[in-house]
């Protein structure tokens, strides 16, 4: 048994008292001194040292004939027997299996119209991640197959890489190139396919050696790392409407056929995509609320989302009475009104019927979306007002236990810019399982109010 395997096995059987120390030593190749104060997210990280894959952490697509999102790119299809652990690595194997009982037909948009001959695999995290540094050490399969590490979320996809180990059709450049890209999957969006990508040359063929690939996903940009070195970065400001990476994503490892680079023949297989580890770090944040949801970027996943159940099965959105929905709504991407991300909550007083000083326009977060222990807290939010707004107030209510926080007089805020407002409060009793937030706008007759980035943090 190789030395590296022995060391990894030793780490796997260390006592619980030692394990925290071992984890503390796992630092990003991009920041070995940990100047960023990174914290390892164990829910989406794995050293793959166990005897078998942790199915509480990962879903193997095709298990019991069930698939998550899709079955793979034809002619290959995901088959669960091709994902396994060996020698301290996750292995995704591609095989020539013409007698395999392939399931269903490919989507019409795919280039090949039948699943046949080739089986491969996909492994997907049950848990999601929002922002952070993701790092893997992998070796790409030495065949006309991809080795891919990517993420999917609400209306978005981030491909940290989809690399082809051996090209048999067209340019050979993909064999020696690290490419990161992302897709915009907004419904009815005219350019909802790939919207951004960047290629970076590697130190040889990606199928010949293990390399360390990393991406830092920021709230307003991406950074690409190769063997710990920063090789490219891009910002939301540079990308404009192309930036869509604002919601949590589950992580994927898979292999697929890219027909435009060639289709494997029997002599090319079997081939192996080898994953030594996946590590995801995030910066400390004591925000007690779901950042994406309370930033109005997308839905809230209320329950632990285990595949193959569809992502939207338990998704919840802000609740707004239909009677006021013409005046109160979450903005769309094209509105370009946000403090961070791409969206915010908009109150358009010009669309209220017969507005009065006594009127109330209300939005509710889902039951269970606020979960606070007892203690002292500070709620913050970003507000933007048009010049016409006057006699308008905002009150935040926490419902279970019932607590009306201090009313915010919006008239006192500057116009035409994002301003942070803050309220300090004491939580005398812990939240019940159904606690939620009520946003109550009072008064006002004209103009627009935008609200974004609601957060609740403990007072230090």
What was the pLDDT predicted at 23? 47
| Residue 195 banded pLDDT, cuts 50, 70, 90 | confident
Q: Is the peptide bond before 283 cis (omega within 30 degrees of 0)?
A: no
Judge whether 251 and 129 are in contact, CB under 8 Å.
yes
Rounded to whole angstroms, what are the CA distances from 174 to 199, 202, 211? 9, 10, 15
| Residue 355 banded pLDDT, cuts 50, 70, 90 | low
Nearest to 382 by CA among 318, 450, 332, 442: 450
Of 202 and 108, the structure prediction assigns the larger pLDDT to 202
Judge whether 280 and 214 are in contact, CB under 8 Å.
no
309-330 pLDDT per residue, tens: 888 888 999 999 998 999 999 9
What was the pLDDT predicted at 362? 97
Whether residue 6 is predicted with pLDDT greater than 90 in this model: the reply is no
Whether residue 186 is predicted with pLDDT greater than 70 in this model: the reply is yes
Whether residue 94 is predicted with pLDDT greater than 70 in this model: the reply is yes
3-state secondary structure of 270: coil
Between CA 316 and CA 256 the distance in angstroms is 33
430-454 pLDDT per residue, tens: 999 999 999 999 999 899 999 999 9
Boundaries of every domain in the chain:
3-282, 301-458
Between CA 233 and CA 254 the distance in angstroms is 25
Residue 328: phi and psi, rounded to 5, are -125, 120
Whether residue 10 is predicted with pLDDT greater than 50 in this model: the reply is no
What was the pLDDT predicted at 18? 37
Work out the average pLDDT over 114-130. Answer: 98
What was the pLDDT predicted at 449? 98
Query: pTM of this prediction?
Result: 0.92
Whether residue 354 is predicted with pLDDT greater than 90 in this model: the reply is no
Tokens matching residue 379: 């709620």
What was the pLDDT predicted at 295? 99
Pairing outcome for strands 392-399 and 402-404: antiparallel
If one counts every other C-beta atom within 10 angstroms of the C-beta of residue 397, the result is 15
Whether residue 172 is predicted with pLDDT greater than 60 in this model: the reply is yes
Whether residue 16 is predicted with pLDDT greater than 50 in this model: the reply is no
Between CA 127 and CA 238 the distance in angstroms is 30
Q: Is the peptide bond before 84 cis (omega within 30 degrees of 0)?
A: no
What was the pLDDT predicted at 198? 97
Whether residue 15 is predicted with pLDDT greater than 70 in this model: the reply is no
Work out the average pLDDT over 74-101. Answer: 99
Between CA 298 and CA 294 the distance in angstroms is 9
DSSP per position, 301-361: E-S---TTS-GGGGEE--EE-GGGTTTEEEPPGGG---SSSS--EEEEGGGSSS--TT-EE
Between CA 444 and CA 349 the distance in angstroms is 7
Kindly report which listed range (100-114, 205-219, 304-318) carries the lowest average pLDDT score. 304-318
What percentage of the chain exceeds 70 in pLDDT?
Answer: 92
3-282 CATH choice from 2.40.110.10, 2.60.120.260, 3.40.50.300, 2.60.120.200: 2.60.120.200
Judge whether 349 and 392 are in contact, CB under 8 Å.
yes
Of 286 and 193, the structure prediction assigns the larger pLDDT to 286
Structurally, at CATH architecture level, domain 301-458 sits in Sandwich (2.60)
| Residue 194 banded pLDDT, cuts 50, 70, 90 | low
Tokens matching residue 384: 């933007």
DSSP per position, 159-171: EEEEEES---SS-
DSSP per position, 255-267: ----GGG----GG
Q: HEC states along 101-151?
A: CCCCCCCCCCCCCCCCCEEECEEEEEEEECCEEEEEEEECCCCCCEEEEEE
In this chain, the answer to whether the domains covering 3-282 and 301-458 adopt an identical fold is yes
């Amino acid at each position: 048994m190789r030395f590296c395997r022995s060391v990894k096995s030793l780490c796997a059987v260390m006592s619980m008292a030692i394990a925290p120390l071992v984890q503390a030593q796992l630092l990003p190749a991009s920041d070995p001194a940990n100047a960023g104060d990174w914290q390892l997210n164990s829910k989406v990280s794995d050293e793959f040292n166990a005897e078998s894959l942790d199915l509480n952490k990962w879903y193997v697509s095709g298990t019991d004939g069930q698939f998550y999102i899709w079955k793979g790119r034809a002619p290959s299809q995901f088959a669960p027997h091709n994902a396994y652990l060996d020698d301290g690595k996750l292995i995704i194997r591609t095989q020539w299996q013409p007698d395999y009982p392939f399931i269903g037909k490919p989507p019409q948009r795919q280039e090949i119209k039948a699943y046949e001959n080739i089986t491969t695999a996909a492994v997907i995290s049950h848990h999601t991640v929002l922002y952070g540094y993701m790092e893997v050490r992998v070796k790409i399969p030495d065949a006309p197959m991809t080795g891919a590490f990517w993420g999917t979320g609400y209306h978005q996809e981030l491909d940290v890489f989809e690399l082809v180990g051996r090209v048999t059709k067209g340019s050979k450049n993909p064999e020696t190139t690290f490419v990161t890209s992302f897709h915009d999957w907004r419904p009815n969006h005219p350019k909802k396919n790939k919207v951004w990508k960047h290629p970076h040359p590697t130190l040889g063929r990606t199928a010949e050696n293990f390399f360390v690939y990393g991406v830092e996903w920021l709230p307003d940009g991406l950074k690409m790392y190769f063997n710990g070195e920063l090789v490219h970065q891009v910002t939301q400001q540079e990308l404009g409407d192309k930036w869509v990476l604002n919601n949590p994503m589950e992580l994927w490892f898979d292999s697929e056929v890219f027909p435009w680079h060639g289709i494997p023949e029997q002599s090319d297989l079997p081939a192996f995509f080898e994953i030594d580890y996946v590590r995801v770090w995030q910066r400390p944040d004591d925000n007690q609320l779901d950042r994406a949801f309370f930033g109005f970027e997308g839905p809230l996943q209320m329950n632990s989302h285990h595949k193959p159940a569809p992502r939207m099965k338990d998704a919840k959105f802000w609740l707004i009475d239909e009677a006021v929905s013409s005046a109160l709504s979450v903005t769309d991407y094209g509105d370009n009104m946000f403090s961070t991300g791409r969206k915010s909550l908009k109150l358009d007083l010009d669309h209220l019927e017969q507005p009065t000083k006594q009127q109330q326009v209300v939005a509710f977060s889902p039951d269970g979306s606020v979960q606070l222990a007892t203690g002292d807290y500070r709620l913050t939010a970003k507000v933007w007002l048009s010049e016409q707004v006057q006699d308008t107030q905002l009150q935040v209510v926490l419902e279970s236990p019932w607590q009306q926080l201090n009313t915010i007089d919006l008239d006192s805020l500057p116009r035409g810019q994002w301003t942070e407002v803050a309220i300090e409060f004491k939580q005398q009793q812990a939240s019940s399982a159904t606690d939620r937030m009520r946003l109550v706008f009072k008064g006002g007759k004209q103009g627009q109010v935008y609200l974004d980035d609601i957060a609740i943090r403990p007072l230090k």
